[in-house]
Chains A and B, each alone.
Chain A
Amino acid sequence: MNIPVEKLLDLYTMLSRIRRVELKIEELYHLDEMKTPIHSSLGEEAVSVGVCSNLQKEDYIFSNHRSHGHYLAKGGNLKAMIAELYCKETGCSRGRGGSMHLIDTSVGHMGSSSIVGGSIPHAVGAALASVMQNKNLVAVSFFGDAASEQGVFFESMSWAALRKLPVVFICENNFYSVCSHLTARQPNIDIYKRPRAFDIPSELVDGMNLAEVCEKAQKAIEHARSGQGPYFLECRVQRWRGHAGSGDPNKEKYRKPEDLDETNVRDPLKEFKEILFAGGVTESDLTQIDQKLDAEIQDAFECAQNDPLPNPEDLEKHLFC
């Protein structure tokens, strides 16, 4: 595909940023200072980056419990995110939401839900609002394979198709719901074929391949923005870690043998680097980017560690707007 080098570097920067943030969180999680259940995006970063790189700042995204990648890719404030993980008043949700409830309204991220499938209709609603307000904005719904088992998944597609709304459904299929494999939960694994029953165009995407996600997301988003209605992408990914927390301590007890075979594990960052190198980018170009990212991330963690905690006297604040 023909992506200009500058855009390639932007994509790399975001991909590497999410990777480095997640690794840093994991590195420090055992200290028990981030008292919030984390759901790592490691291995799945390319989907967030590929989709969000095609969105405008005002476009909406709706996210789930595995929310870090979506938030960062849409341009969410890093310091506010890390402060939220540290339960601080300076956090993006003022310490009321935690890792599963990130928000940055300044970039169209209206708050993520930890009820599986819960935010899918929100994207449909934001798309409806965009039409009513003549804003020409697109709403993206990120959800996992298990969300496609919820009734609201089908209902939301039905609404979006009925009113031809500018919503793009992004299913990140990592094949595991906590420890339950897809084949134990669904009669067949072709999630991307289901929207076709609603006349919603859909595609299967290699979610480990950033260039492919980028290309297909661009097409999907243009389709929605041009008034042709919803679009659906099933992005197949690998969840490197367990459902929650750091590492995957029980993997031998629940993973399929083929998923335990290290030679089958793919790395979206490594694969994308090959494209960059083929385009003339050098290792030292990337090292420079990474050093800047590390400094920014280090700063975000230090700030978060030193920021003030919420005041218990404010316990009842914010119940209503």
Chain B
Amino acid sequence: MPWTKLQIEREEPAFDDPDGHVGRKISYGEALHEALDQALERDPSVYAMGQGVDDPGGMFGSTLDLHKKYGGQRVFDAPLSEESTVGMAIGSAMAGMRPVSIHNRPDFLMMAADQIINHAAKWSYMFAGQVPIPLVIRACIGRGWGSAAQHSQSLYSLFVHVPGLKVVVPSTAYDAKGLLITSIADNNPVIFIEQRWLYNHQGYVPEEIYSVPFGESVVKREGKDVTILAVSHMVIESLRAAEQLAEKGIDVEVIDPRTLAPFDEQTLLRSVEKTGHLVVADLDWKTAGFAAEVLARVAEKGFSYLKKPPVRVALPDIPTPSSYVLENAFYPGVDDIVQAVEELCQGKLSETLGEEFE
């Protein structure tokens, strides 16, 4: 069994077990499935298409057998023609449908870049809001199995850069369902970026249909020493790091923005005002990536809060390598986050150590 298979199926700490939880515990993948199922049931203008959505795997289970329930007119396979598929989705949206265009990997969205960036993102502004494009584009970031450079890119920063797109990055089962519902209900194009390693994560999810608002982050863990703003799977890595850091006496606050566009600046700025330290844990490249944008905003609006220069824990500026040895070196994770935080808190650490020596 490839080693990353084990990574995907590993048990995670129960980060989504707050007191007073609602619903049953289901996986991120099951939550996505349930959201799409309920959206299809609720609104006949919703349809889903994409390569393999009706195959035995059903997009890692997230679309499994929905074609049997809703028929091949509403859930159907697509040719490897990403540009026209997204273009067709846009055309159908102009005519009143709510398409969900599903793509295995963000890497493949590059073939549809013209339709996403030049068309979907422009239609509202260019025509003064006369034709809504209620389009959801789903894609799942790959990692491991030696996926290499063309099956592992997150690329969400590219879409965040383009005005007219909303960009959603759920990290929990609860958010996966609620944000997918919100995305389908939205009258604008939404890029919905999943992460493959999150698919088996379990969380409490209400059975009924519900929506999670865009532009509202969640403080996953409160703390007073350092703020970590973490994106997608990095939320899990950051929460693991926070547990290790707590043992060393460092109290970390972890924020999950959940949507990168719109981005909730206020929660972040309030947190940085409190902690004075910022680490951004991102799944994208360091240069001109989302983490850079977060740092820019904090520099513009919260510079005086910062006690030390903020830190980006992000991918090195190289393509993803294939060999697991290189892959391991390539991806930042818990250890990198712990190290980044420790370096920010050197003063505090020596204080703590000093106390211990007394």
**Interface set of A (CB-CB < 8 Å, partner B):** 60, 62, 93-94, 96-97, 101, 103, 105, 110-111, 113, 115, 118, 120-133, 139, 151-152, 155-156, 158-159, 162, 317-321
Contacts and interface: CB of A to CB of B under 8 A. Distances in A.
12 contacts: A93-B128, A101-B127, A110-B91, A111-B126, A113-B119, A120-B84, A121-B90, A126-B94, A128-B97, A133-B45, A162-B79, A320-B164
Nearest to A128: B92
Nearest to A129: B95
Given A96-B128, A111-B126, A132-B47, A151 B83 contact: yes
Interface string B93-131: 111110100000000000000110011000111111111
Given A120-B87, A152-B87, A155-B83, A318 B131 contact: no
B73 interface: yes
B4 interface: no
A123 B94 CA distance: 10
Contacts of A122: 87-88, 90-91, 94, 119
Nearest to A95: B128
Given A152-B114, A158-B79, A319-B125, A115 B119 contact: yes
Nearest to B128: A94
B79 A97 contact: no
B287 interface: no
A35 B132 CA distance: 27
Contact of A96 (B73, B81, B126): B126
B195 interface: no
Given A103-B127, A162-B79, A121 B96 contact: no
Contacts of A125: 87-95, 97, 99
Contact of A121 (B87, B132, B164, B188): B87
A180 B10 CA distance: 59
B270 to A, nearest CB: 25
Interface string B51-95: 000000000000000000000011000010101111111111111
A111 B94 contact: yes
B211 to A, nearest CB: 17
Contacts of B87: 118, 120-122, 124-125, 152, 156
Contacts of B114: 115, 118, 152
B187 interface: yes
A132 B91 CA distance: 13
A319 B124 contact: yes
Contacts of A127: 91
Interface of B: 45, 47, 73-74, 79, 81, 83-97, 99, 114-115, 118-119, 123-133, 163-164, 166, 187-188
A105 B123 CA distance: 13
A93 B90 CA distance: 18
Contact of B130 (A105, A121, A132, A156): A105
Contacts of B90: 121-122, 125
A57 to B, nearest CB: 14
Nearest to A135: B95
B153 to A, nearest CB: 21
A313 to B, nearest CB: 15
A89 to B, nearest CB: 9
B81 A159 contact: yes
Given A124-B84, A319-B125, A129 B91 contact: yes
A159 B84 CA distance: 8
A159 B76 CA distance: 12
Given A96-B126, A321-B188, A110 B81 contact: no
A172 B157 CA distance: 38
Q: What are the 9 tightest A-B residue pairs by CB atom distance, in nearest-first order?
A: A125-B91, A121-B87, A122-B91, A155-B84, A129-B95, A94-B128, A155-B81, A321-B132, A125-B92
A320 B79 CA distance: 30
Contacts of B91: 62, 110, 121-129, 139
B124 A321 contact: yes
A317 B118 CA distance: 18
A189 B287 CA distance: 46
Contact of A97 (B88, B115, B119, B126): B126
A251 B47 CA distance: 49
B81, B88, B128 — most chain A CB neighbours (10 Å): B88
Given A97-B128, A105-B130, 6 more contacts: A60-B94, A110-B94, A121-B90, A132-B97, A317-B129, A321-B131
A93 B95 contact: no
A107 B127 CA distance: 15
B327 to A, nearest CB: 32
Contacts of A60: 94-95
A2 B28 CA distance: 64
Contact of A156 (B73, B88, B119): B88
A130 B95 contact: yes
Given A124-B84, A132-B73, A93 B127 contact: yes
A121 B84 contact: yes
Nearest to A108: B95
Contacts of A105: 130-131
The CB with the most chain B CB atoms within 10 A, among A126, A129, A321, is that of A321
Given A110-B94, A125-B94, A318 B81 contact: no
Nearest to B99: A125
A317 B128 CA distance: 8
B125 to A, nearest CB: 5
A132 B114 CA distance: 25
Given A93-B127, A155-B84, A118 B164 contact: no
Given A125-B90, A125-B93, A132-B47, A320 B188 contact: yes
Contacts of A133: 45, 95-97
Most buried by A among B90, B91, B124, B127: B91
Given A125-B92, A132-B47, A158 B81 contact: yes
Given A118-B118, A158-B79, A126 B129 contact: no
A96 B125 CA distance: 7
A129 B46 CA distance: 11
